[in-house]
Amino acid sequence: MSAGVDAAPSPIRIQVENGPSFSVGPNEDTLLRAALRAGLAFPYECSVGGCGACRFELLDGVMDTLWDSAPGLSERDRKRGKRLACQSRPCGDASIRVRLGGEAERPPVAPRRQRATLVERRPVNDEMVELSLQLSDAPPFLAGQYALLFPQGVDGARAYSMANLDQGDGRWRFIVRRTPGGRGSTALCDGLAVGAEVEVDGPYGHAWLRPSTRDVVCVAGGSGLGPMLSISRGVLAGDAARRVHFFLGLRNEAELAAVREIDALADPRLQACVVLSAPAGATAWTGATGFVHTEVERALSPAGLAGFDFYFAGPPPMIDAMQDLLMVRHRVPFEQVRFDRYV
C-alpha cells in the first residue's frame, strides 16, 4: 500500500463587495499585505496598526485580530464593526467591504517577504544608526518607499523607510532611531549583530518620488531623515534642473551629527536648513529654532508654496502641522503633497 500524501491547503479567497477577489496564501500574515501582494489598491499608510487608514468591514467569514487595542481604531470604529486589515488574519474564505483606490493607488512594486542579513551598522548620531541589510532576492523599490522589519523576539513589525536608492544590488539601508522603552528599535539598534538575519517585507508606501518639473521640498523629523535622503537622492540623480530644499527638524545640538547625512549629498542643487526645537539654554547655535513647519513657511512663502512638490516624514504632530500648512492654509494641490506618518 502506498503512503498517503497530504494535499496542499487550498488558498483562502477574499471577496471585496462589488469588487475583485484575491487569494491569501497559507504563509501570509495579514489581510492587508495579501491584498497588496495581489496588486489591489487597498487603502493604507503605516501598515502596523497606528494610523487607521486600512479600516474595513467583515461581511462574512472569520478573521483573527492580531492586536486588539491597536490605536488605529477608535471605540466608535469598534462599535461599528470596523477592523484593521494590517491587524487581521483570515481564517478561511471571507467577504469584506472596503473602498479600494484607483489605478494610481495600486502598489507600483509587489512587496516580498524574505530574510535579510545585517552587513553594516553605522552611527548617525547618539540616538540613530544606519542599518545596511543585504537581501538575496530583493524586489526593486522606489525612492521614498518603506519596508517592514520583524526583529526577533519582538511581537509585530516595525516600519522604516529605505534611505538609499535602489541600485539593483539588494542592499537596503535604514535609519533607525532608538525610542525610549521601544523594544523594536532597541532590538534593531543594539540587539541585531552584524551577520545576523532579520525578516524584511517590502517595499510599501505611497510617498515615493513622482516625476515632475517642480522643485522638491523635503521635510524630515527624527528618523524621517531616511526617506527624505532617499527622495533627495532620487531628485539629484534625475532631472538636472530640479532642485531640493531640505528641512531637518532636530531637538537640540546633541543631535546635530545627523546633518552629516545631508552634507554627504554634496550637490549644488540641494539647499539645507536645520531647525532645533529645543536648543540648549547657553548655546552657540545661531540657526533656526522652533517648529520645522514654521521655518518651511517663512523660507518658502515668498516664492509661493504651491510651486513646489512636498515630501515629508516624521512624528504625527509634525505631519499634522505640515498638512495644515500646505493643504489648508496655502492650498497646495493634494497631488503635490506626499508623506509618511510614523506612529
Distance of alpha carbon 35 from the chain centroid: 18
pLDDT more than 90, % of the chain: 85
Higher pLDDT, 1 or 229: 229
Please tell me the pTM assigned to this model.
0.92
Q: How far apart are CA 224 and CA 175, in angstroms?
A: 8
The C-alpha angle with vertex 79 and arms to 77 and 82, in degrees rounded to 5, equals 45
What are the sequence ranges of the domains in the chain?
A: 12-105, 112-204, 216-341
Q: Which of 161, 125, 170, 143 is nearest to 232 (CA)?
A: 143
- Kindly report the average pLDDT of the chain as a whole number: 93
pLDDT more than 70, % of the chain: 96
36 within 8 A of 59, measured Cβ to Cβ = no
Helix, strand, coil shares, percent, the chain, to 5: 25, 30, 45
How far CA 9 is from CA of 25, 26, 27, in Å, comes to: 9, 7, 11
The β-bridge partners of 160 are 147
36 within 8 A of 53, measured Cβ to Cβ = no
pLDDT of residue 223: 86
236 within 8 A of 262, measured Cβ to Cβ = no
200 within 8 A of 133, measured Cβ to Cβ = yes
E strands, 125-186, are 128-135, 146-150, 158-161, 171-177
Fold classified for 216-341: Rossmann fold (3.40.50)
Q: How far apart are CA 265 and CA 53, in angstroms?
A: 34
Q: How many CA atoms lie within 13 A of 334 on its CB side?
A: 0
Q: How far apart are CA 253 and CA 207, in angstroms?
A: 29
Q: What is the mean pLDDT of residues 90-100?
A: 97
Residue 10 has pLDDT above 80, yes or no: no
Q: Which CATH architecture has domain 112-204?
A: Beta Barrel (2.40)
CATH number (3.40.50.2300, 3.10.129.10, 3.10.20.30, 3.30.2320.50) of 12-105 reads 3.10.20.30
pLDDT in tens, 216-239: 999 999 889 999 999 999 999 997
pLDDT in tens, 301-325: 999 999 999 999 998 899 999 999 9
